[in-house]
Every structure is written in structure tokens, then in C-alpha cells.
Homo-oligomer: A and B are copies of this chain.
């Protein structure tokens, strides 16, 4: 019996914890063959053999109760259990594969439905969406109620929403440019329609009365950067848009 090992030695040998050995002892799954005078558990080579079987079956995912059954079962029963276990693990495997897909799905949804980040905006609007402009705009209008309202609303805009906004602005400006080229009167039904569409595109951000819109129109003529933006697309567009907005506001 001098070959008998204590819990710590067995634990090191087989890669389990001491607590695990205690646990198996409690359950009667692996009761050490002997005890020292002081009550130390003493494991023989046979015990180690049994433990290594237990460890093997545990690694295969069996519960302790099933491990106990496997140890006393004959070959045919063991094979049957192993097959069952394999099938069960395969089933869980399939279900986890589905889980990964579900997570991917949620991830994609989150990516598109989450409020847009600064990077998203740069990706959509290009690098022209620079910090300098942002800073200046904040200084100019940061104290207005419209700015505050816009800030609150856009905080929840998704990348998809921003893309829609860009598309609508683009379409609007193209329609206005076409009207200028075709010599459409700003104070015609079509001219006023475009002015109204412009107001709606602004109302996405904040409540925009006709009066406020007229103020914007005046700025488009007063601030050369706005004027340039419109006239680059179509010479005379800034003036035409201003006139249409004024005409629409006067009804």
C-alpha cells in the first residue's frame, strides 16, 4: 500500500481539483480504497484507473450519474450511451450554429438601426462634413431653439435615415436646378411646390414656419458659401430658390 497517493498528488496527476475528489467521494463515485491514520484519503493505482475513466467520460460531456452507470455497464450499453451522447451533442451543436446566426442577425440590425455615429455621417456625406463647419455652425446657431430641437431629433437618426435625408436633399436640388434651366417662374405652382418641399426637408430637423424659411432664403443670398453651394449646381439657383420661398410664404 506504499504506492497510495493523497488527494493533492492524485489531483496533480490526473488534472482535477482536490474538491472534485472530495465531491466524487461524497457521491460514492470514487471512494478511495484507504485512509491514513490521520484520515487522509489514500488512492491506489486501481483508484487512479477508475478516476481516469471518470475523467474521460466527463470530458465526453456525461453527467456524474451517467458516468457511474457507464463504469458498471457492459460494452454494448456503453456503446449505446456513447451514441446517444454523440447525437445529443450534435443536436446542441446545430442549435448553437443557429445561435451564431441569430447573433449575426441581431448585430446587423443593431448596426443599421442604431443612431448614426460621426464616422457613419462622414461615410454618407463625405469628408466635407468637417469639424470646422460643425464648430462654426454651433457658434452661429447653437443658442437657438431650432438648433436644440434639431440636436434632439438627429440624436436618434439611424444611418439609413441620414441616407434618406441626403437622397431627398439631392433630389430637391436637382428638381430646383432643372426648374431654373427650364425658366420656371419661382412664383408659379411648380415653383411654390419646390419651395414647400424645401420647407418639409427642413422640418425633418426642426419646426420651420414660412417666416423662418424666408430667413433661411435670405441667408442663402447673404452668405457666399451657401450661394456658391447652390450656384455651383446651377447658376442662379440661389436667387431662384429665394424667390420661390418668398412667393410661397406670401401664398
Give me the interface of A with B, judged by CB distance under 8 Å.
56, 59-61, 74-76, 78-79, 82-83, 85-86, 89-90, 92-93, 96-97, 99-100, 102-104, 106-107, 110-111, 114-115, 117
Contacts and interface: CB of A to CB of B under 8 A. Distances in A.
A83 to B, nearest CB: 7
B79 A107 contact: yes
Given A79-B114, A86-B104, 12 more contacts: A59-B102, A60-B99, A78-B114, A79-B110, A82-B107, A82-B110, A85-B103, A86-B103, A86-B107, A89-B100, A93-B96, A93-B100
B103 A99 contact: no
Dominant secondary structure of chain A at its interface with chain B? helix
A89 B111 CA distance: 20
A55 to B, nearest CB: 12
Copies in the complex: 2
Across the A-B interface, give the 7 residue pairs with the lowest CB-CB distance, nearest first.
A75-B114, A86-B103, A82-B107, A93-B96, A60-B103, A79-B110, A89-B100
A56 B102 CA distance: 10
Contacts of A78: 110, 114
Contact of A100 (B75, B86, B111): B86
A103 to B, nearest CB: 4
Given A92-B96, A93-B97, A97-B93, A75 B106 contact: no
A96 B96 CA distance: 10
Contacts of A92: 96
A117 to B, nearest CB: 7
Contacts of A75: 110, 114-115, 117
